[in-house]
Structure 1
């Protein structure tokens, strides 16, 4: 059997870390979902996109009903708020609350700590190179559309 290719390694890494959270104990999956949906709303806003349920569903890669449930749960926990869209009052959009921004600050701090631990023996140059390469992959991923039914 041959070694997995770089794409397989990337997706294995993503799957592994998507199931982790800072507390590491009970509720890890639930907290991970809350961070996931809050991060999706934040990411959409950072790119100037409206965080509708459909946009969040696309951002996360799940169906509309799943995204709706995640948004509802995050809103019930106080991390998101749903309001009529500023651009089209018939649609609703999600936005972060102060608690949602705090959740992301904590999650981002944990992510940076994990990265520092994983790369403790790397040079600063290697860390910067890795960051640039991953940023390029992320930027490129926003320009590609994966047809429904294909992908990981």
Structure 2
């Protein structure tokens, strides 16, 4: 699940490689490579040659992987609805806004977990 979600997120930001996935999830390249291979074996990801550089291999989410993510997101949303059932609409909106801001800021971190100097 972790690598499938990372690949989907990275795909919206550009080319997805094993190294990019490793950086995204904060795990070393060799462990990430094994996790990606497991997800490929399960049918959630595929590895293919890069269209721009055939020496590089890119990772992509399969339709089965998209189904997995869809189902996981539905479960997460249902659980969130349960946990926040007593919240007001304003509290839910504020939490949603804060989480989106946090996610956007997470993309400004370097590989050591520090905000890049060039980050907005």
**TM-score of the two chains, using structure 1 as the length reference:** 0.71
The runs of 5 or more residues in structure 1 that have no matched partner are: 1-34
Alignment equivalent of 1:46, drawn from 1, 9, 12: 12
> Pairwise CA RMSD of aligned residues?
1.4
Counterpart-to-counterpart distance in 1, 2:52 and 2:79: 39
Alignment equivalent of 1:81, drawn from 31, 36, 46: 46
Cα pair 2:23 2:111 within 8 Å, conserved: no
Counterpart-to-counterpart distance in 2, 1:146 and 1:89: 26
Counterpart-to-counterpart distance in 2, 1:85 and 1:146: 23
2:82 match: 117
Alignment equivalent of 1:95, drawn from 57, 60, 63: 60
1:69 match: 34
Counterpart-to-counterpart distance in 1, 2:43 and 2:76: 22
Higher relative contact order (CA 8 A, sep 6+): 2
Deviant stretches of 4+, over 6 Å: none
2:117 match: none
2:100 match: 135
**TM-score of the two chains, using structure 2 as the length reference:** 0.90
Q: Deviations over 1:84-115 (max 9, x none)?
A: 01221111011011100000000000110111
Q: How many residues align?
A: 114
Could you tell me how far 1:144 is from its partner in structure 2?
2.2
The runs of 5 or more residues in structure 2 that have no matched partner are: 115-120
